[in-house]
Amino acid sequence: MDAIRQAASCPIEECDRRKLDDLARGQIHQGVVLEAGALPVANGDQWVKQDFPSDAIVVVLDGIEDPHNFGAIVCTAIACGAYGILYGKDRSAPLSPAAVKSAAGAMEHAELVQATNLVRALEGLKQAGFWIAAFDEDAPQNLWEADLSGRIALVIGSEGKGVRRLMKEHCDFHVRIPMPGPLTTLNASVSAAVALVECLRQRQTP
């Protein structure tokens, strides 16, 4: 334990399981609980005014309310090199312990951006040179046909209703994930993963 204290360079307190359960507030803790400061969250209005890399990928979450989906999307976004995760102030999953755990360590590496008005944030991304793609199961164009190179923002809709109509109207194009099987929709985090991997493939394939 002394070696762990020295390596961690922070206070470590040993306690019984009951106290860990109280500190974790019902979450599964696996015998360890860390008390840390709040994660930094950028202001959407200011964030979209920066000079982005020429191949930046931004994931836009429109009404993702399930913290597990939120965390899983952040995890995939970071693994695929996304530049930022943009989400609304309202109708969005909070940065809860469940979301952080679902992100499997990725949340601390993510550029988290909260916007009071997501539509206005999309317009800011357009001015910064982004193309905006909304995912819609009824879109005429499938994902494999879309050009996702350059600066691209991927709009992932809510678990139940998908991308809101007003958000769709401010997107440059709509795409769907082709699914020949009996199911027509995927979980939001799975859809985001498929889209991000396709973005990555287009950037790495001549």
What's the pLDDT tens digit per position in 61-99? Answer: 998 989 999 999 999 999 999 999 999 988 787 778 788
Beta partners for 43? 114
Q: pLDDT over 70 for what percent of the chain?
A: 95
pLDDT band at 6 (very low <50, low <70, confident <90, very high): low
Cβ atoms of 118 and 62 within 8 Å: the answer is yes
> Is a pLDDT exceeding 90 seen at residue 38?
no
CA distance 191 to 181: 15
The torsion angle over the Cα atoms of residues 78, 84, 90 and 93, rounded to 10 degrees, is 10
pLDDT band at 2 (very low <50, low <70, confident <90, very high): low
SS3 content of the chain, % helix, strand, coil (to 5): 35, 15, 45
Q: What is the pLDDT of residue 7?
A: 55
The overall longest dimension of the chain from CA atoms, in Å, is 61
Looking at per-residue pLDDT, the higher value among 138 and 57 belongs to: 57
The pTM for the full model equals 0.84
69-79 pLDDT tens trace: 999 999 999 99
Cβ atoms of 38 and 112 within 8 Å: the answer is no
CA distance 203 to 206: 8
CA distance 90 to 167: 14
Per-residue pLDDT averaged across 173-180, rounded?
A: 89
CA distance 177 to 190: 11
In total, the chain counts a number of residues equal to 206
Q: Which CATH number fits domain 42-204: 3.60.20.30, 3.40.1280.10, 3.20.20.70, 3.40.190.10?
A: 3.40.1280.10
15-24 pLDDT tens trace: 888 888 887 7
Give me the residue spans of the domains in the chain: 1-35, 42-204
